[in-house]
Structure formats: structure tokens, C-alpha cells
Amino acid sequence: MLTITGLAQGPDAVGRHDGRVIFVPGAAPGDRVRVRVAEQHGNYARAVLVHRCEAGPSYREPPCPWIGECGGCPWQHVDYPTQLAAKAANVRETLKRIAGVTAGAELAIVAAPAEWEYRHRIRLHVGPGRTLGYRRARSHAVVAIEHCRIADPLLSSSLGAVRALTARLATRVDDVEMAANGRGGIALHAIAHGGFHEHDADAIERWLAETPAAAGVQLRGHGWVRRYGDLRLHVAAPEIDTRAGSFTQVNPAANRLLIASVTALVEPGTRVLDLFCGAGNLSLPLARQAASVVGVDHDREAIADAARSAVASGLTTVRFEAAHAERFLRRHGLAGADTVVLDPPRGGAPAVATQLARLLPARILYVSCDPATLARDVRTLAAVGYAAARVQALDLFPQTAHVETVLEAVLTAG
């Protein structure tokens, strides 16, 4: 019998037996379970849940019929307050373990406005027989799904139509990203393997004509791209017009809270350098209060979208440059900024952290969706005198182990 004591970042539940950590998917804190050990390692093991002998106070019946197979929402059997507490603890403990830092002030984790139906963008995989779904946990196998509890209802109700399209195409499609376009429709961005079969153009046009919710389709392969219909996406708060395939935060309602958290840490009159700015998610709101903002991203199309959105919003104190962040810093330094904001992909920004440790801006606001890579980069900054003044965890991804973090690093020593 094993008693579950917490949730790992990994995203399994954890317990201890004879001094060894046991990772158990599908369990909740407080559960008493019987397990079968599947993998033995030095100081830990991975196990399979055999029987929940006694449910803990945080356990709830999961609403999704595919939870036993799909790896998309592994915490939906855990009540929401317990999810939030685990995410906050994981951020705190990861910063301490990897970076050796403790925040001067740890702000209370911000809950998502809604636990369900929050994603305006989902990424699906195409499996054998043109099955369409999410990956099985720790596997490349595709679990076919009929609906998704965390997706925008429009996306969930359109899964059948998208499955029908992928089945029609001779072009081999590996992944499909569905996005709600902010205007009552959906736009698809598909990644293909191999070449494009030209007669698929007619099939896509017919599908767009006969599918009321469908606005546009983009197919991209190695060295080629095809676009059909209207691929524009409108994101409110901030007001951004971008296109299918461009990065946007998956949870629009919680993204507003993220923006509020970042802008609250930037005083009026500050000069800001926003690295990995994308289509301007943080740059545009910051431009309403900062003296100046320079947004930098390697995606030229996203930069063009950001510049157009700035013009449409009448913002004149922000400019955008298409460049890799590390190269920009090598060439231009801090570009006159006293505060650097960076919001890199999940892999973090080790090379950029190294450059910032050389340039020494007064303040750094690091926005991260992975506590481990955040902590790794913060360790680089801490080594040259930065202190973690404030840390704010936000839940943009309910029912999963993922968590967004805003960390304010202040230079305290030269």
C-alpha cells in the first residue's frame, strides 16, 4: 500500500516507499493505492496504478472518457485548489533546487478564470489510418478523441470536420493546429511530411465551402507552403491581429492576467527591451505605460503582425525588429533599455541569459512556461549578482502540470 503525498512537475503523483520516491500517474494526493513497479531507477521508481484503495480528499472523478489513454490532461482527477498549490510549490522548489535562489517575495499563484474550455488553440496529431488526436503519455501513439474538455467549444465541435479533411488529403499530414480566429470561425495550420499533392487544393477549397465554421487552411512542408481562405486570428486584450501558425498564448482569459502581472512590474517611464516578443503580446500593453519599447523576435511574420497592430492601436512608442534575441544583444546591446522582458519557448534562453549576465540591465522580467529551464537561466543571472525579487506563478494550463511564471530579477551587485 502506498500513500500519495503530492504531485510532481512531471506530471505524475508521488509517494515514498522505503526511502524511495515512487511516481504514479493517475493518483491524487491523499490517495492510498496499490501499484505495480514498472521501472526501477537508483533513488526512484515509476509505477502503474493497480487499485485506488481509498480516495484522498483531493481526488475527483475525471470528466473525460479518454483520461486513461490520452496524455493531454493528466491532472483532471485532482481538484483545482490542489492543482494550484502543487504548481506554486513546484516553481518554488525548482528555483531552490536548480538555481539555489529563494524569491524575496512569492506572490500568490493566480488561478485561471476557467478550468475547462479555455484553450483557443490545440495541436493534434495524425496517426495510422488518419486517426486524429493527442499523444498517449510518454509515447508517440495517437489516441483518437471525439471532443476535448479543455478546448474552446468551437474547436471541440469541429474535430469531426477536421478529421474528414485530413482523411481526404493525399498529402501526408502529421500535425494539425486548430485555432479559434476570434470571429466565430476556426483556422488550421497543418504540418506535412513530403511534398504537396496539387489536386488537394480542390479538396481543401470544397471543404472550406461546405464547413460553416472553417475560415482558412495553411499547409506547410519542407520548402513549401499553401494557404487557402482567411487565416487571420484576432486576439483581444491586447488587440492583436496575427495569423494561423503564429504563436499566441493558448488561454486568452488567463493571458490577460499574465499581461497584468507583467505590466504591474514596469513603472511608467521605463525603457523596455522585449525579447521573444512574438506578435506583441507583452510589447503592445507595455507600450501604453513605458517610455519606449523595442520588441525583438526571429519570426518575421509575427514582427510584421506586431507592427501592424501597433499602428492600428495608435501606439507610437514601440518599434519591432526581426532578429534572433542573442544576435540582437550581441549587435545592439540593451538598445538603451533599463528593463529587459523575455518570454522564450519552453526550452528557455541559456544563450540570452549569458548575454544579459554580460550586459547587466538593472531589471529583468523573465516569463517562463517551464520552471526547470527558468531556474537554469536564473542560476546564470544569480552568479553575476541578480536577486529574485518577486516570483508570480500563474495557471494558464488547468488540468495539466504546466505553469506560467513571472520572475523579477534585480541587479544587486556588479
What is the grid cell recorded at 48?
Answer: 502503474
Q: Which of 88-92, 110-114, 236-240 has the lowest mean pLDDT?
A: 236-240
Per-residue H/E/C for 1-21: CEEEEEECCCCCEEEEECCEE
pLDDT digits (tens, 9 = 90+) for 171-221: 999 999 999 999 999 999 999 999 999 999 999 999 999 999 999 999 999
pTM of the model: 0.95
Q: What is the pLDDT of residue 64?
A: 94
Q: Give residue 42's pLDDT.
A: 84
Instruction: For residue 4, give the C-alpha cell.
Output: 500519495
292-311 in b/e form (b: 16+ CB < 10 A) is bbbbbbebeebbebbbbbbe
Asked whether the beta carbons of 168 and 203 are under 8 A apart, the reply is yes
**Best CA proximity match to 278, nearest among 335, 337, 341:** 341
Q: How far apart are CA 292 and CA 193, in angstroms?
A: 43
241-270 pLDDT, tens digit each = 999 989 999 999 999 999 999 999 999 999
Question: Residue 277 catalytic?
Answer: no
* Contacts for 403 with CB less than 8 Å, ≥ 6 apart: 87, 88, 90, 91, 109, 369, 371, 393, 394, 395, 396, 397
The 10s digit of each residue's pLDDT in 340-370 is: 999 999 999 999 999 999 999 999 999 999 9
In the chain, the domains with their CATH numbers are: 2-59 (2.40.50.140), 83-114+251-411 (3.40.50.150), 121-234 (2.40.50.1070)
CA dihedral 27, 33, 39, 45 (to 10 degrees): 80
- Check whether 414 has a pLDDT greater than 60: no
Residue 12: count of CB within 10 angstroms of its CB: 22
**How far apart are the C-alpha atoms of 265 and 245, rounded to whole Å?**
30
